[in-house]
Amino acid sequence: MNPAERTTEPELEIWRGKAYPLGATYDGSGTNFALFSEVAERVELCLFDADGTEKRLVLPEVDGFVWHGFVPNVEPGQHYGYRVYGPYDPATGHRCNPNKLLIDPYAKAIDGSIDWGQPLFGYNFGDPDSRNDEDSAAHMPKSVVINPYFDWGTDRPPRHEYADTVIYEAHVKGLTETHPDIPEQIRGTYSAVAHPVIIEHLKSLGVTAIELMPVHHFVDDSTLQEKGLSNYWGYNTIGFLAPDPRYSSSATPGGHVQEFKAMVRALHEADIEVILDVVYNHTAEGNHMGPTLSMRGIDNAAYYRLVDDDKRYYMDYTGTGNSLNVGHPHSLQLIMDSLRYWVLEMHVDGFRFDLAATLAREFYDVDRLSSFFELVQQDPTVSQVKLIAEPWDVGPGGYQVGNFPPQWTEWNGKYRDTVRDYWRGEPATLDEFASRLTGSSDLYEQTGRRPFASINFVTAHDGFTLRDLVSYNEKHNEANGEDNRDGESNNKSWNCGAEGPTTDEAVNELRARQQRNFLTTLLLSQGVPMISHGDELGRTQGGNNNVYCQDNEISWIDWAAADSELMEFTRTVSALRAAHPVFRRRRFFDGRPVRQAGAPSAPDIAWLAPDGSDMTAEDWETGYAKSMAVYLNGHGIPDLDVRGQQVVDDSFLLCFNAHYEPIEFALPPKDFAAQWTPVISTAANLDDTPLAAGAKVTVEARAVLVLRAEKD
């Protein structure tokens, strides 16, 4: 039967309802449904029984382009979708087709998976200008009405200050799937992330925030399924308010929402914040050849950026086929409503925005003061949580590191690249390495931001793991089925003398040292450190630097093979950071002398050559120079504690040697400290025998030595 011939089911009542809030809202007596569409001529609400039987109700009212109705006695667990009647004219940007069942953009839960085939597409295969009227309902996941009530108990957000934050980037399944102490039935789920063994591990590392890779409901691409692969990472969103049920141990429709909330509550009880990696730059509907799943069939021109002179096509700043139209008020409203929902109802503590430069594109240029960022700044809820930008996209002018508004922090890609180059021995990196080590003031200070605007990272989900970074010169992505063409080719990696696994003890020892060098640099740099899950355990992906489609042992942490020595080393360095505010300053260094009662003045920071002299311009500019020391003055911290008292700490000397031979360092004179105690060494077993001022100490090849100044 043609959908146009269908009428309201006589046994169901539908009242006029309300235009706000959008989505499906259960109030105890029934459910209000509201859907935005400027182009719709009629909207049908489709309710599905457990056996798949569909009942349709025409939404009776429209206010401000929001179609709405209230259905008594519709309770949580009800599956539903929409059919939108309106123009189908791709040349003018319109793709309405009531034969396509549509997911509610405001669905708070989505159940089922996509059954790929012709019915999902608005055109006939082989003829993109045609119209296909096959019904898609049997092949589509369904939106689900949820129970909004949850016992949060005494839950409160930890609200860690940025300067005190240590972020742990993790994948729900990859983190927990093989852990032997997690019950098998909950491995890979939200409940597993909340399990005491995972929380204990995070706490032991000094982690204050877990940053979860996408948990918004996403779609598995048909091309991956045909290869026997899947969209493991989840950067293919179709539901901005719905947690994905793949990561749930609950079989109850909508039960994964309760499970997600329980995870957040448990992490908060452990004083750990929850940050979500969110993908608001595009959706799973792809380009003009993609399926009609939701927004395309609701109001294509409102939700997506279309090519001005031919609206059949989509502007693609993401490399995924489409870009969300953040210049349209209702598209912006969807993003803001989603953010507020996750903060207010799901209690999350912040967001990392994937390809955030796309959200700044109102026209063709990246505009730092675009409408999206203005709305965020003015929003009393969203502006108060952690906001982290991935400050680039694939469009022209898309690399925007350092250019986001003041309340934002950024994944510092320049930190990653510089630290990698320094430790693999690239020439002329010393001066930029020093800048990255001290918070990247060249990127953030001029906009009034602080060192913690820099989210420092050496590795992330996208690219080599830390162990692979020191084990491979080339990517090895053959398992992805793209002849090793996918993934970044310029990884700034170094295999330390052999490609991949080796029995060469010297190579393996160097690799272990290099991992310690990276972790020490990361955790003792000014700014906010981000550890990629499993790096502290020596996790490997076998040289695959693009495991987006590998939901298997390639991408999961192998807890049985964990490097316990590296884990303990990471804990030690993280504990040093947590204990000493000199490593997590809230303001940039200025290099000026600091007066100390009863002691000679010393600058808040000093850069020293290995011979103990101040670094000169020539020292910085010498291309082959790979060694230096930096003095951090614990009396030169311009911060106040919570009681308004001046922060005072121990002073430290960090000796960096990226040279292939040992370097002898002269310790500073008594003006700095009477003696120095080694506290961290990445080279070998630590000798913590105190050393006198001015003494000589050897730093092994490619190693870091950290010394603490001792009082007289």
Which residues of 431-492 form beta strands (DSSP E)?
454-456
3-class SS at 141? coil
Question: In one letter, which amino acid is 662?
Answer: P
Task: Find the helix or strand (DSSP H, E) in which 196 lies.
Answer: helix 196-204
3-class SS at 545? coil
- Encode burial over 24-63: b for 16+ CB neighbours within 10 A, e otherwise: bbbeeebbbbbbbbebbebbbbbbbeeeeebbbbbbebbe
d(CA 514, CA 508): 10
Active-site position among 259, 354, 421, 551 = 354
Cα 239–Cα 242–Cα 244 angle in degrees, nearest 5: 95
d(CA 660, CA 424): 10
- Supply φ then ψ for residue 72, to 5 degrees: -60, 150
d(CA 450, CA 519): 22
The first and second tokens of residue 661, run together, are: 């031979």
The first and second tokens of residue 110, run together, are: 């989505």
3-class SS at 369? coil
Q: Judging by beta carbons within 10 Å of its beta carbon (0-12, 13-18, 19+), is residue 691 exposed, middle or buried?
A: middle
Q: CA–CA distance from 507 to each of 503, 511, 535 (Å)?
A: 8, 6, 19
Whether 354 sits among the annotated catalytic residues: the reply is yes
d(CA 130, CA 152): 51
Question: In one letter, which amino acid is 76?
Answer: P
Sign (positive/negative) of CA torsion 558, 559, 565, 569? positive
* Residue in 270, 161, 184 with CA at minimum distance from that of residue 584: 161
- 252-256 contacts at long range (C-beta below 8 A, 24 or more positions apart): 252/77, 253/77, 253/79, 253/109, 253/111, 253/144, 254/76, 254/77, 254/108, 254/109, 254/111, 254/144, 254/145, 254/146, 254/147, 256/109, 256/190
The first and second tokens of residue 417, run together, are: 């690249």
Instruction: Report yes or no: 568 and 417 within 8 Å, Cβ to Cβ.
Output: no
Q: Which residues contact 149 (CB under 8 A, 6 or more apart)?
A: none
Whether 390 sits among the annotated catalytic residues: the reply is yes
3-class SS at 588? coil
Which residues of 413-463 form beta strands (DSSP E)?
454-456
* Residue in 471, 615, 447, 464 with CA at minimum distance from that of residue 541: 464
Active-site position among 177, 221, 259, 390 = 390
Quickly count helices (H) and strands (E) in the chain. 15, 31
The first and second tokens of residue 575, run together, are: 């504990």
d(CA 600, CA 594): 9
Instruction: Report yes or no: 685 and 679 within 8 Å, Cβ to Cβ.
Output: no
Q: CA–CA distance from 189 to each of 129, 262, 267, 548, 566 (Å)?
A: 42, 12, 14, 18, 26
Question: In one letter, which amino acid is 708?
Answer: R
Residues labelled catalytic: 354, 390
